[in-house]
Structure 1
Amino acid sequence: MPQSPAGTLTSQQKTSSRRPAGTLYRGREGMWSWVLHRITGVAIFFFLLVHILDTALVRVSPEAYNAVIAQYQTPLMGLGEVALVGAIVFHAFNGLRIILIDFWNAKYQKVMFYVVLGLWVVTMLAFVPRHLINVFSH
C-alpha cells in the first residue's frame, strides 16, 4: 500500500481497507429484521391460501374435506402449527416495531429489534410446551 511521506496511511486508504470483500451486504439488525419480516409474511400468505383452498373443499366434496382435515391432525402438522404461530407472532411484533419506527424515532430501532426477539421468545416459550402436550397426548 502506498504510504504518505510520514509513513502513515492516508484517510482514503484507511476507509477502503475496512470495506468487506465482495458484494454481499453485511447488514445488522435492520437487515435481519427486514429479511425475517418478508419471510414470515410470505409464509403466512401461503398458509392463508392453503387454508382457504382446504376450507373450500367442504362445498365440493365433504369426504375430501374430511380426508384433508384428518391429515392436519398428525404430529407433523402439530409441529407445523408451532412454526406458523412463530411466524405470526414475530411478524406481528416486528410490524409494531416498524410502526413505532415510522411514527416515533428510528434512533432506537436496534434496541426495539432485540425487544421484539425477546417478546417472541417469551411468547413461544409460553405457547410451545402447552401446544405440544396437546398434539402428542392424542
Structure 2
Amino acid sequence: MPQQTAGTLTADKKRVSRRPAGTLYRGGEGMWSWVLHRITGVAIFFFLLVHVLDTALVRISPEAYNAVIGTYQTPIMGLGEVALVGAIVFHAFNGLRIILIDFWSGGTRHQKLMFYIVVALWVITMLAFTPRHLINVFGH
C-alpha cells in the first residue's frame, strides 16, 4: 500500500467532506420549483375546499350565501384573487414543465432553462392580468 503524505490526506478529507453537487431537487432551480409547486398545490386545494363549502350554502340558506359572497367583494379579497390566479398560473406552467421532465428524454438536461421559462411566462401572464383585475377591484 502506498504511503500517504499529509498533503494527500488533507485532499482526501476535502473530497469526503464536500457536499454533493446540486441535483434536480437538492438546491437551485429544481428545489424551488418543487417547493413552489407543493405550496401552490396546497393553496389551490384549500381554495377549492372553501369554494365548494360556500357554494353549498346556497342550498341551506340563500341569505347566508349572499352574506358570504358579499364579504368576498372587498379590496382585500381582490388582492387575494390576484394571489390565487398567481398560484394557479404558476402551478399550471410548472406542471407542464414537470410533464416535460418526466416524458421527454432531454427534460432533465434542460430543467433549469424550463424553470426560467416558467417564471417568465408567469410574470408575463401576471403583468397582463393584475392591472386589469385591480382596476375592476378598486375602480368601483
Aligned-partner residue type, residue 38 of structure 1: R
Q: CA deviation at 1:14?
A: 1.9
Range with bigger deviation, 25-34 or 114-123 = 25-34
User: 2:110 matched to which residue of 1?
Assistant: 108
Q: CA deviation at 1:11?
A: 3.9
After TM superposition, the score normalised by the length of structure 2 is 0.86
1:84-137 CA deviation, whole Å, 9 max, x = no partner? Answer: 000000000000000001111211001101110111011101111110010001
Q: Secondary structure at the match of 1:19?
A: coil
Q: Secondary structure at the match of 2:95?
A: helix
1:77 aligns with 2:73: no
Percent sequence identity over matched residues? 82
1:53 aligns with 2:75: no
Q: Secondary structure at the match of 2:109?
A: helix
Q: Secondary structure at the match of 1:107?
A: coil
Distance, in Å, in 2 between the alignment partners of 1:6 and 1:84 is 59
After TM superposition, the score normalised by the length of structure 1 is 0.87
Aligned-partner residue type, residue 131 of structure 1: H
What does 1:110-129 align with in structure 2 at a 5 Å threshold? 110-129=112-131
Q: CA deviation at 1:17?
A: 4.3
Aligned-partner residue type, residue 58 of structure 1: V
Q: CA deviation at 1:18?
A: 3.3
Q: CA deviation at 1:9?
A: 5.5
Q: CA deviation at 1:16?
A: 3.6
Distance, in Å, in 2 between the alignment partners of 1:79 and 1:85 is 10
- Flag structure 1 segments of 5+ consecutive residues without an equivalent: none
User: 1:134 matched to which residue of 2?
Assistant: 136
Taking only aligned residues, the RMSD between alpha carbons, in angstroms, comes to 1.9
1:5 aligns with 2:5: yes
Q: CA deviation at 1:5?
A: 2.7
- Flag structure 2 segments of 5+ consecutive residues without an equivalent: none
